[in-house]
Amino acid sequence: MLVLSRKPGERILIGDDVTITVVRIGPNNVRLGIDAPRDMNIVREELCVKVPVGAEAASSDG
């Protein structure tokens, strides 16, 4: 894993097509802007994690 320190307004280039810009740094979060081709799928990790069958119903019982 590559770990970089960046300030607001600074960018990270990935290949020839993707640019990540640090938009804002807050006390508990970082806001990033991503410029990439429209055909590239960009998704937050938590939307891709699969919930085990039955875990969703168990968590709402209670």
This model's pTM is above 0.85 = no
| pLDDT single digits (tens) 52-61 | 777 665 666 5
DSSP letters, the chain, are -------TT-EEEETTTEEEEEEEE-SS-EEEEEE--TTS----GGGTPPPPTTHHHHHT--
| pLDDT single digits (tens) 19-60 | 999 999 999 999 999 999 999 999 998 888 877 777 665 666
